[in-house]
Structure 1
Amino acid sequence: MNEPEWVQHAIWWQVYPLGFVGAEKAATGEPAAAHRLLELIPWLDYAVELGTSGLALGPVFASETHGYDTTDYFAIDPRLGSLEDFDTLVAEAGRRGLRILLDGVFNHTGRSFAPFQQVLTQGPGAPTAAWFSLDWPDGAGPGIEPGYRDFEGHHHLVALDHEEPAVADFVVEVMEYWLGRGADGWRLDAAYAVPSSFWADVMQRVRSSHPDAYFVGEYIHGDYAAAVQAGGIDSTTQYELWKAIWSSLNDANFYELAAALERHNALLAAFAPLTFVGNHDVTRIASKLEDPALVQHAAVVLFTVGGTPSVYYGDEQGYRGIKEDRAGGDDDVRPLFPPSPHDLSPIGGPVFALHQELIGLRRRNAWLHRARTEVLHLSNEVLAYRSVDESHALVVLLNLSHEDQRLGTAGATSVLAGQAAVDDGSALVPARGWAVLG
């Protein structure tokens, strides 16, 4: 386990900056507003009030459009501001005890990335030609464009060749530069598309100078534990649990969630996954659930099982948004936020209060970071589980039925969150209700 000790207490508030500040959809030489990154500063106290301990930023580096087509890894996107603005944000976050997680796109780049432009200008003899997987036509020379491997059919995203040592050197340099400017770790975008041997080399080198840094890879399918071990990273995104949470709530099928929690237990034996019910790539949980009232149940699971929880900005206010498979299909889940927390609609107040309550519970029980779950009662509509470590336990009761349910408490005697009437070793949970017992 390489995970830094501080991660045990980490709860991220994830923000997609380009959307949050209403930046232009594409790079421009004259952004309509300057220093937009500083517009996050009024929200830092909000993140603290929510209970989170870190700010997980989406892409902030110069790019062509959405940030995942990076063009300059050493520059802040002009639509967001400057290096000085970044430094100010980091300092203000640090003053409030908030960590900073950056989003690094190291599988592919935008076409305007200088080393690729060098290839287009100079041809096969370009010193950076080996950085990419290129297919040159016969007789190719300067000014001739080669075929190239892209990212999942997106031709504007040029895949890097991770067998090239210079690419690893470059990624190490980028990571160390921003860690040196105050970042605390990296989310590794599309980590699943990069050979684990590449990550292992890069991690070893970066950790030698920044041993307290945190690295979480984006993995959607596959053997998460093997990816962590082979790549030397700290964690992966827990998409299996995300899917099981909303799917089991929609289908009133807690058997699916129970199976996912068993799998989650196996992962926790090796590492603490990054857990979530929303992020910048998926439909909002309030829109994904057929009954939005069950957002409560989804949040309860998120904050009472092992892992490192992440809250996607707006989910704590009950925001809705649907991701669509089309150009611009992410815009609805990457919205503009108001200038300050005072401008939020009061409609989101109850959902915010729920998140505060559950995050507070989580912060008071930091041992949950590596807790395992034991299923105590299971039916389609009712689930009871105990989250435990060597010396602590909480009992979670979830009721999807339209009738009150009486469940055993496994020795728990007090209601820590939610609603239940506890009496003589059992608890009465209201219809469509939940409770956390201690």
Structure 2
Amino acid sequence: MRRIVAGPGRVAAGNCCEDRGMDTSSRDWADTAIWWHVYPLGFVGAQTTPGDPGARPVEHTLGRLTAWLDDLVALGCNGLLLGPVFASESHGYDTVDHRRVDPRLGDDADLDALVAACRERGVRVLLDGVFNHVGRGHPWWRAAVEAGPGSPEAARFRSGDGERVVDGVPVVPFEGHDALVTLDHANPEVVSEVADVMAHWLDRGIDGWRLDAAYAVDPEFWRATVGPLRERFPAAWFVGEMIHGDYVAYVEESGLDSVTEYELWAAVRGAISSLNLFELSWTLGRHDGFAERFLPQTFLGNHDVTRLASALDPRHVGHAVAILFFVAGAPSVYAGDERGLTGVKEERFGGDDAVRQEFPADPGEWPPSDIYRTHQEAIAFRRRNPWLARATIEVQDLTNTSAVLVASGPAGERAELALNLGDDVARGASGEIAPHAWRLRGPQEV
């Protein structure tokens, strides 16, 4: 991998907001948010085999994340996007108590301490809300099983198309998994409970929510839950997990601020791995359309997909990173991708474990490498040019293996990213770019 970064020297990885008085009046801060996405249970090495959270001792491991916050800031990030932290039976997405920290991670005091440590560094915090379904150990499900079919307790859960009998109660399991029972989002009790849970943790100091499996929930549900919270928490940011579907329509109907843009994720990986930048060019046209209507949450990796370093030719990982921080959106780095961690997701029980690795207690055990510095350079370029969050992209000098992306900002700003995946020098109107190299140029150079 070869990279060339033009322009002024790297800025310090400071705070997007002057902490200790972070703006609480609007959500404009999201335009400068750069997230470090962590799967906490994996990060601390917790056992994820099924078990009763009530029988587990409190382990106070969440504090291990605090040791990595300075590394987060040094990387250039200013947001911590946490995966599930609430009491669950196994992997965190089978929640049994949304108001209790998972004992494998600690307790309320541990989470409060982590949020406070983030505040000291001007780092925003998002929590992962699993509100489409719950685990079968959840008190609501136990009450439904006790009361039986047709009861008000059972009415909190979805039945109908795709239902099957679980523990004697007809219910729609989430994506066929009997361990995950789907809530009925038309039930007023569910609306009230989810809104109360979100408000509870917003009151405790978090900045917003990643809403898991939003794609499986009617958008009207989010409007009913998030909408009333806006007056109390005007600066809170809500992003829904979307894979397929009409992103713009979902945002507008749900009232959410953003959704995860899997289209861009797939196009960046696909175009680079297949040496077909026409695929990327086509998707960037759609991406501009999304970014015109909302701020997409963009990413190259997460807890559900094969690690970036395992998906791409090592010579081209930097190209993907440069694209992520050049195009519009609120980008996130999946923790460990910046260290070059590898791991292949498999479609089997436990198939996610390989991409949810444990981290050492001391970041010094994983010293920065070339890929870490690549992330720093691309993030620093983004930090110097925050207008890129709302930029539009024109693709020039396009071939299968080379292209120049020209970004235009709302005030007439311009920047350029040249990409060459090929074995030969690429030549175009913007000059030459060496084989397997990428080059960023800021407004002063374009």
Pairing partner for 1:316 from 315, 338, 341: 338
| Residue 146 of structure 2 is aligned to residue 121 of structure 1 | yes
User: 1:68 is matched with which residue: 90, 93, 105?
Assistant: 93
Q: CA RMSD in A?
A: 1.7
Residues 52-93 of structure 1, C-alpha deviations (whole Å, 9 max, x = no match): 000000000000100000000000000100001000000011
Are 1:40 and 2:65 matched, yes or no? yes
Structure 2 residue 445 is the aligned partner of structure 1 residue 432? no
Tell me, in whole angstroms, the C-alpha distance in 2 between the residues paired with 1:343 and 1:245.
31
Deviation at 1:408, TM superposition (A): 1.6
Bigger Cα displacement from structure 2, 228-237 vs 196-205 = 196-205
Determine if the alignment matches structure 1 residue 130 to structure 2 residue 155: yes
Q: In the alignment, is residue 394 of structure 1 matched against residue 415 of structure 2?
A: yes
Which amino acid is 2:416 matched to?
A: V
Partners of 1:343 and 1:33 in 2: CA distance: 26
**Are 1:333 and 2:333 an aligned pair?**
no
Q: Which residue of 2 aligns with 1:191?
A: 214
Amino acid at match of 2:395: V
Report whether the alignment pairs 1:209 with 2:229: no
The 3 A distance-change label for structure 1 pair 381 and 134 is closer
For residue 287 of structure 1, give the secondary structure of its aligned residue in structure 2.
Answer: helix
Aligned CA distance change for structure 1 residues 320 and 174 (closer, same or farther; 3 Å): same
Counterpart in the other structure of 2:379: 359
- Write out per-residue CA displacement over residues 83-118 of structure 1, whole angstroms, 9 at most, x where no aligned residue: 010000000110000000000011100001101101
* 1:58 counterpart residue number: 83
Contact residue 276 and residue 311 of structure 1 kept, 8 A? yes
8 A Cα contact 2:58 2:107, kept in partner: no
User: What secondary structure, in the 3-state scheme, does the structure 1 residue paired with 2:293 have?
Assistant: coil
What is the match of residue 106 of structure 2?
81
Moved over 3 A (4+): 26-33, 124-127
1:165 to 159, 168, 188: 188
State whether residues 57 and 103 of structure 2, in contact with CA within 8 Å, keep that contact through their aligned partners in structure 1: no
What amino acid sits opposite 1:149 in the alignment?
Answer: V
Contact kept in structure 2, 1:9 and 1:366, CA below 8 Å = yes
Counterpart secondary structure, 1:173: helix
In structure 2, C-alpha distance between the alignment counterparts of 1:33 and 1:73, rounded to whole Å: 16
1:382-437 Cα shifts (integer Å, max 9, x gaps):
1111011132110110001111122223xxxxxxxxxxxxxxxxx22111111011
Q: 2:388 aligns with which of 350, 363, 368?
A: 368
Q: Which residue of 1 aligns with 2:264?
A: 241
The one-letter amino acid paired with 1:375 is V
Aligned residue among 291, 295, 299 for 2:317: 295
Counterpart-to-counterpart distance in 2, 1:61 and 1:110? 12
Give the C-alpha shift of residue 29 in structure 1.
Answer: 5.2
Question: 1:201: how far off?
Answer: 1.1
Is it true that 1:343 corresponds to 2:356 in the alignment? no
Query: Is the CA contact (8 Å cut-off) linking 2:195 and 2:225 kept in structure 1?
Result: yes
Measure, in 2, the Cα distance between the counterparts of 1:159 and 1:226: 23
Contact 1:134 1:146 in 2 (8 A): no
Question: TM-score scaled to structure 1, two decimals?
Answer: 0.91
Partner of 1:424: none
Give, in angstroms, the shift of residue 33 of structure 1: 7.0
How many aligned residue pairs are there?
A: 411
Taking the aligned partners of 1:378 and 1:134, their CA distance within structure 2 comes to 50
Contact 2:147 2:153 in 1 (8 A): no
- Asked if structure 2 preserves the Cα contact closer than 8 Å seen for 1:151 and 1:158, the reply is yes
SS at match of 2:369: helix
- Secondary structure of residue in 2 paired with 1:55: strand
- 2:244 counterpart residue number: 221
- Contact 1:3-1:234 at 8 Å conserved across structures: no
Q: Which moved more, 1:161-170 or 1:126-135?
A: 126-135
Is 1:262 aligned to residue 280 of structure 2?
no
Q: Please, which runs of 5 or more residues in structure 1 have no aligned partner?
A: 410-426
Contact (CA 8 Å) 1:228, 1:236: kept in 2 or not? yes
| Counterparts of 2:375 and 2:74, CA distance in 1 | 10
Percent of residue pairs identical: 48
Structure of greater relative contact order (alpha carbons < 8 Å, 6+ residues apart):
2
Q: Are positions 1:97 and 2:117 aligned together?
A: no
Question: Residue 40 of structure 2 corresponds to which residue in structure 1?
Answer: 17
Q: For 1:394 and 1:144, how far apart are their aligned partners in 2?
A: 58
Cα distance between partner residues in 1 of 2:375 and 2:169: 51
Q: Structure 2: which amino acid aligns with 1:319? A: L
Partner of 2:10: none
Assess if the C-alpha contact under 8 Å between 1:305 and 1:372 holds in 2.
yes
Deviation at 1:122, TM superposition (A): 2.4
2:20 corresponds in structure 1 to: none
| Distance in structure 2 (CA, Å) of the matches to 1:259 and 1:233 | 26
